[in-house]
Amino acid sequence: MRIKDHPILTFVDKKDITFFFQGQPIVGKEGDMIAFALHSHGIKTISYSQKLNRPRGFFCGIGNCGSCKMRVDGVDNVRTCITPIKENMRVEIQTDKGTIE
Amino acid sequence: MIYKDVIIIGGGPAGLCAAKMLADQDVSVLLVDRDHHLGGQLVKQTHKFFGSEKQYAKNRGFEIANILINDIIDKPNIEIMLGAFVIGLYKDHVMSLVKDDEYYKFKAKAFIIATGASEKSLAFENNDLPGIYGAGAIQTLMNVYGIIPEDEVLMVGSGNIGLIVSYQLLQAGVKVKGIVEAASSIGGYKVHATKLKRLGVPFYMQHTIKRALGKDSLEAVEIVKLTDDFQEIENETKMIEVKALCVAVGLSPLSQLLGMMEVNMKYIKELGGLVPVLNHLNQTSNPNIFACGDVGGIEEASSAMMEGYIAGLGVLKHLECPHPCHDQLIEMYHRELELLRNSNYGEKTKAGLKKLGGPYVE
């Protein structure tokens, strides 16, 4: 799902970064935001609504809407569309409001 | 507490031009952006811009971002904070922000609010399914990170954003299954629409989205034909199998920080929502607070740049260190704005500004 040839833009191949989604290793590229790295592997459902448990993906991609909130390295409600991936980062789907701490 | 003369919130076209005007002047400036890079939404614009040389016309959006960033990046009087999320602006001129889990407090004599806008959504059944994105999100994913949303995409909205993003999808090798538009005529520039039609993209005029279908993510979209007064025609529906839907139905100003300062604001539909009333220096009803770009009404990056320069000049004047060519420059940038708004697509903005009141009304 990564663009190889583009008439205007050049995408240089960046360093692989391995992180964990629900315990499974995922390889993204350096500089990728979490939600986009997951999307590049076809992973679209990254959260569930609190009351009706409806699947959610990212909507705005620039940190406005909050549709992409996940638990990242144990921290709840991280907006994954504006948070870059890091080596060995643990990313998990959150089904509740989350807690501070 | 860290003290600055001027704090600019938002490093998009408006904020960058405001900073450019303050560069090398006798004021200390802090430019903050929540993103990890400057340029705002210009960084994902791959099309060439219209306008005059004052707006770097004929350059692509991301190239304009690079020009503006280079103009301010090494200026000794401008400090830049990225990945910094402003959480509050208070009446004693204190601004608080969070960066890398650290909390910071700043105090400034003047603020320039250049926070831009956020994307609107559309109400229909299952509009929260994964696979339904704002047009800006698709641009970010595709043009900044080089990842395509899906092999095929359906677009809602034939305004300039809908048309341009459709063309960008084709450039990235994605099939555009159609453009759904509620009105009976194309919303954006005809030249873009003609190009898409020539490339075989179907336009579903006078149609809207009835519902989205899918279990875990989007699988199909049902569209419905509309009457001239936008009523759904019950039996005229069509099912389109598609895994990605791009919603390009407009933007609304991100004016919450202005709300915290209780500046005079009005809800103006034509400008996209709640916007501040501004004078000819882009100054709000609070003389220490200036606003420029989409936060003051949805327009294009070209006008945001002109407003950024005006706000920069306004702040210098307000702090009693006016630019040596203040009057000339103010007049010039207002003239540029007028030219931009006198194009066919400035009608809505002009109508909105007239309702809002202030200096832009003849």
List the CATH number of the domain containing A51: 3.10.20.440
ipTM for the assembly? 0.95
Tokens of B72: 């301010």
Contact status of B252 with chain A (Cβ, < 8 Å)? no
Q: Which amino acid is at B326?
A: H
CA distance A90 to chain B (A): 18
Contacts of A7 in chain B (CB under 8 A): 171
Domains contained in chain A, number: 1
Contacts of B140 in chain A (CB under 8 A): 36, 61-62, 81
The pLDDT tens digits for B196-228 are: 999 999 999 999 999 999 999 999 999 999 999
Which residue from A minimizes the CA distance to B47? A8
Are the CB atoms for B293 and B322 separated by under 8 Å?
A: no
List the single residue in B128, B137, B147 with the smallest CB-CB distance to A40: B147
The pLDDT tens digits for B236-249 are: 999 999 999 999 99
Say how far apart CA B218 and CA B247 lie, in whole Å: 13
pTM equals 0.93
Calculate mean pLDDT across residues B47-60.
90
Indicate whether A101 belongs to any domain: no
Which residue from A minimizes the CA distance to B214? A55
Indicate whether A3 belongs to any domain: no
Query: Which residue ranges form the domains of chain B, and what is each CATH number?
Result: 2-118+251-356 (3.50.50.60), 121-247 (3.50.50.60)
In this prediction, residue A36 carries a pLDDT of 98
Indicate whether A21 belongs to any domain: yes
Indicate whether A69 belongs to any domain: yes
Indicate whether A97 belongs to any domain: no
Q: Which amino acid is at A74?
A: G
Say how far apart CA B42 and CA A64 lie, in whole Å: 17
List the single residue in B119, B148, B217 with the smallest CB-CB distance to A55: B217
User: Which domain range does residue A22 map to?
Assistant: 16-92
Indicate whether A30 belongs to any domain: yes
CA distance A64 to chain B (A): 7
In this prediction, residue A68 carries a pLDDT of 95
Residue B8 burial by Cβ neighbours in a 10 Å radius (0-12, 13-18, 19+): buried
List the single residue in B137, B172, B254 with the smallest CB-CB distance to A59: B137
Are the CB atoms for B33 and B82 separated by under 8 Å?
A: yes
The pLDDT tens digits for B284-300 are: 999 999 999 999 999 99
Calculate mean pLDDT across residues A31-42.
97
Calculate mean pLDDT across residues B115-135.
96
In percent, the amount of chain B with pLDDT more than 70 equals 98
In this prediction, residue B359 carries a pLDDT of 61
Tokens of B241: 């199998």
Are the CB atoms for B150 and B176 separated by under 8 Å?
A: no
Which residue from B minimizes the CA distance to A14? B145
Are the CB atoms for B248 and B155 separated by under 8 Å?
A: yes
The pLDDT tens digits for A54-98 are: 999 999 999 888 899 999 999 999 999 999 999 999 999 998 889
